[in-house]
A and B are shown apart, each in its own frame.
Chain A
Amino acid sequence: MNTLLETSQTKMLDDLITMLNLSEEAPSQLPSGLRARNQKGFISLCSYCDCQCDCGYCPCSVCHYE
């Protein structure tokens, strides 16, 4: 069985990335975004509803920061 990396499908992703008008330079540090981490290391959107995922569907309106 061929792995995906041996198929032509991966060329499509290469082509798509080329299609994006991005600069040639990558950041040395990844952006962290407006979310904090709790002590367990999970992304913590909210200390009120204890949402620990990164889904953006947290129902709490006062969340996304600790």
Chain B
Amino acid sequence: MEKIVPKGAWLTVNQRCNLRCKWCYALATGYQKNNEMTFDFAKEITRIIHGLNIKSIIILGGEPTLWEPLCSFNKFCRELKITTTLVTNGLMFGDNNFWEKYILFPNDRIGISLKAGNQKQMFKTTKSRKFRTLEKDVFRAMQHFDNCGVSITYNSFYSDNLLEIVKFAINCGARSVKIDFCSTVFITNQPFSKYMVEPSILVANIVRDYPELERITDGHIVFEMNLPLCIWPEDFIEKLLREKRIITVCQLLKREGIIFGTDGRLQLCNALFDYPIGRYPQDFHDSATLLDFLNTRRVISWYNRITRYPSLKCKNCDRYPICGGGCPLRWAVDNPEKIIKGRVLERR
């Protein structure tokens, strides 16, 4: 196996959030206000990232628009010629004080994660009553920035109204919509899957809704497939592949990302904040020592173990290179042997 050389970095700048989404992987953080990176600490970490020749950082929370140094940090990254992507719920774009500051030093790209398709659902899923203002907030961002996309994390609340949420996204000015699928989160070391949709139901629902999704978005729809491709009807997957509407294989499976928590902890995945593999500055203190650390026997062993085939059916599947078997965390609650079928092309 090749040496681990990260190509992208994620920075968790805070845990504070203005929503309380029931399926959020950060649920177990407690959304503590004080649990955030200082500007100086974020700069230190970013210099290490920069030293690895990584040119792109994704800024996560919590809710990073509530992180006071965001604009200063964006300016800092721009000076280093690092592009930044903000992952946000979009609510702060309606705050004029924030907006006036933000448009001076915006991120290079913005990904807005929408949570609901109507007011009642917004309150049920996030405890927020700001659904009406959200439409204006997101519209404002869409009008102002070209590089602004919308994503939806499909979960059990959306089983029957995905179309409504996607329509809402388009009404907010979204030019395209990305749908990903809720996976396992871990709370006090236990897998939590209450809001994940059972795979066969999920497949049936998405296949049912797809023609309308295609119509509503005028074909501007993409699925981030953290589920194995073989669970979908073959003609459906063939269509998505042909139309180039699938993203597959996460940074963890490719060993191409580094994720930092607010206290400098290094994580395999942003959902695994309680399971750090190392911490700055104890385990590494600069780019060279981070690279060495990522390639220690212990870290490689974790990667080797968590990226094993979910099922041996994947081993002979001709689609494994583009599929990867889906999100490994799912297999804490689902049995891959019951779900994965694999695909082997018959020789003619």
Whether B274 pairs with A12 at a CB distance below 8 angstroms is yes
User: A-facing mask of B106-125, CB < 8 A → 1, else 0?
Assistant: 00011100000000000000
Among listed B158-166, B194-202, B204-212, B329-337, interface-contacting one: B329-337
- Verify A57–B254 contact, CB threshold 8 A: no
Chain B residue with Cβ nearest A30:
B254
Given known A-B contacts A20-B332, A22-B328, A55-B109, A27 and B322 have beta carbons under 8 A apart:
no
Specify which chain A residues have a CB less than 8 angstroms from the CB of B220 in the assembled complex.
61-62
CA of A53 to CA of B8, assembled, Å: 7
Give which listed residue, A12, A31, A49, A53, contacts B321 with CB less than 8 A: A31
Number of B residues with CB within 8 Å of any CB on chain A:
82
| Residues of chain A contacted by B336 (CB below 8 angstroms) | 21-23
B174 nearest CB neighbor, chain A only: A59
Known: A16-B186, A52-B55. A31 touches B275 (CB 8 A): no
Q: Which are the 6 A-B pairs with shortest beta-carbon distances? A: A33-B249, A57-B111, A61-B176, A61-B220, A59-B149, A31-B324
**Known contacts A26-B309, A28-B1, A33-B254; 5 further A-B pairs (Cβ under 8 A):** A13-B275, A23-B309, A26-B304, A54-B56, A54-B257
Binding site for A on B (CB under 8 A): 1, 7-8, 55-56, 58, 83, 85, 87, 109-111, 146-149, 151, 175-176, 178, 180, 186, 189, 191, 217, 219-222, 224, 241, 244-251, 253-257, 265, 268, 272, 274-279, 282-283, 298, 302, 304-312, 314-315, 320-325, 328-329, 331-332, 334-337
A sample of 11 inter-chain contacts (CB < 8 A) reads: A23-B308, A23-B336, A25-B315, A26-B305, A27-B315, A34-B248, A52-B55, A53-B56, A56-B151, A56-B180, A59-B149
